[in-house]
C-alpha cells in the first residue's frame, strides 16, 4: 500500500494539552488530525515529520531511539513545560532517509540529541495519542529554497511504499505579528490562491508552488517561509497525486484562513 502524504497546519504552541482552555478554537483541527488513522487504514510503521521548527546548513534527521522534548514556545501555562509525548524514535528510519537524500545529492546528517518540537508533538498527539508509532524529524535546509525542498521530497517518495507516513508540519498562514484580524485579508487571499494551486494538474501545481511568493498576500502570510516549506517536501514525495483538503477554517483565531492538504 502506498501511503498518502500530508501537509498539516499544526496550530499554536502546545494546544492539545490545553483543550479545557482552548478546545473551542481547535475543535476542527483536532477532529481532522484524529481522523488520519482512518484515512490511511490504521497505523503506519513510522512517521517522518518535516518540521518547520528546525533548520540546518544541510538537512538534519533526529536519530535518537528516545527523543527528548523541546518546549519551543513562551507564555503558556506552567504544565505545558512538563508535557511528554513519549513516542520512540527510529535510528533505522533516520539512516534510511539520510541515505535517500545523499544518494540524490543532498547532504544530510544525523542528530541523536534532537527532541520533539511543538510542531511535531502537537500535531502527533491527536493522530497517535498512545505515542506508539516511531517518529523521526527532518529539518529544513538553510536558504529555504522551494525547489530544493521539492527535490528532497521526490527522493523520499519510496518511503511511502515502506510503511512510512510523511508529514509536513507547518502552517498555511504564519505571520505572528498579524495573527489576528489584522492578517485576515492576506490569509484569505493566500489561502484562496493555495487551494486553487493544489487543484492544478501536477506539473502546473509544482510550477505554481515554485513561485509561491508571487501569490496574493504571500509575503504578508509568510514574512519568512519556514512554515510553508514542509508543504514543498510532502508535495515532492507525492508529486503526481491528487491533493485534497482534510482541514480548512475561514475564521481560525477569529479571522484567519488556514488549510491542510493530503496528497494521494
pLDDT one-digit tens code per residue, 80-135: 999 999 999 999 999 999 999 999 999 999 999 999 999 999 999 999 999 999 99
| 5-263 CATH fold | Protocatechuate 4,5-dioxygenase; Chain B (3.40.830)
194-209 confidence digits (pLDDT tens):
999 999 999 999 999 9
User: 45-54, 93-102, 143-152, 169-178: lowest mean pLDDT where?
Assistant: 169-178
In this prediction, residue 77 carries a pLDDT of: 94
Average pLDDT on 143-158 reads: 98
Q: What mean pLDDT is predicted for residues 169-188?
A: 88
In angstroms, the CA 58 to CA 119 distance is: 20
Cβ atoms of residues 85 and 14 within 8 Å = no
Percent residues over pLDDT 90 in the chain: 92
| Entry pTM | 0.97
Q: What are phi and psi of 99, to 5 degrees?
A: -65, -40
pLDDT of residue 179: 79
pLDDT of residue 23 exceeding 80, the answer is no
> Hey, which residues does 8 pair with through a beta bridge?
169
pLDDT of residue 180: 80
Domain chopping of the chain, boundaries: 5-263
> Is 181 a residue whose pLDDT tops 90?
no
> What does the mean pLDDT of the chain come to?
96
Residue 38: the pLDDT is 98
Amino acid at each position: 500500500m502506498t501511503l498518502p502524504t500530508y501537509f498539516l497546519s499544526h496550530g499554536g504552541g502546545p494546544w492539545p494539552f490545553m483543550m479545557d482552555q482552548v478546545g473551542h478554537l481547535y475543535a476542527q483541527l483536532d477532529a481532522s488530525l484524529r481522523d488520519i488513522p482512518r484515512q490511511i487504514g490504521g497505523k503506519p510503521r513510522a512517521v517522518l515529520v518535516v518540521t518547520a521548527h528546525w533548520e540546518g546548513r544541510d538537512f538534519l534527521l533526529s536519530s535518537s531511539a528516545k527523543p527528548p522534548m523541546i518546549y519551543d514556545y513562551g507564555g503558556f501555562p506552567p504544565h505545558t513545560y512538563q508535557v511528554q509525548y513519549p513516542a520512540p524514535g527510529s535510528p533505522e528510519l533516520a539512516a534510511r532517509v539520510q541515505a535517500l537524500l545523499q544518494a540524490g545529492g543532498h547532504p544530510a546528517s544525523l542528530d541523536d540529541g534532537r527532541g520533539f518540537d511543538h510542531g511535531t508533538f502537537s500535531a502527533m498527539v491527536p493522530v497517535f495519542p498512545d505515542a506508539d508509532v516511531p517518529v523521526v524529524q527532518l529539518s529544513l535546509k538553510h536558504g529555504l529554497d522551494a525547489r530544493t525542498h521539492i527535490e528532497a521530497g521526490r527522493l523520499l517518495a519510496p518511503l511511502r511504499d515502506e510503511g512510512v507516513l510523511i508529514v509536513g508540519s507547518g502552517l498555511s498562514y504564519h505571520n505572528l505579528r498579524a495573527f489576528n484580524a489584522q492578517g485576515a485579508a492576506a490569509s484569505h487571499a493566500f489561502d484562496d490562491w493555495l487551494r486553487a494551486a493544489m487543484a492544478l494538474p501536477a506539473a502546473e501545481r509544482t510550477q505554481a508552488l515554485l513561485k509561491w511568493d508571487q501569490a496574493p498576500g504571500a509575503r504578508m502570510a509568510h514574512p519568512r517561509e519556514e512554515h510553508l516549506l514542509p508543504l514543498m517536501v510532502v508535495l515532492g514525495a507525492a508529486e503526481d497525486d491528487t491533493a485534497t483538503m482534510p482541514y480548512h477554517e475561514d475564521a481560525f483565531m477569529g479571522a484567519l484562513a488556514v488549510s491542510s492538504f493530503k496528497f494521494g
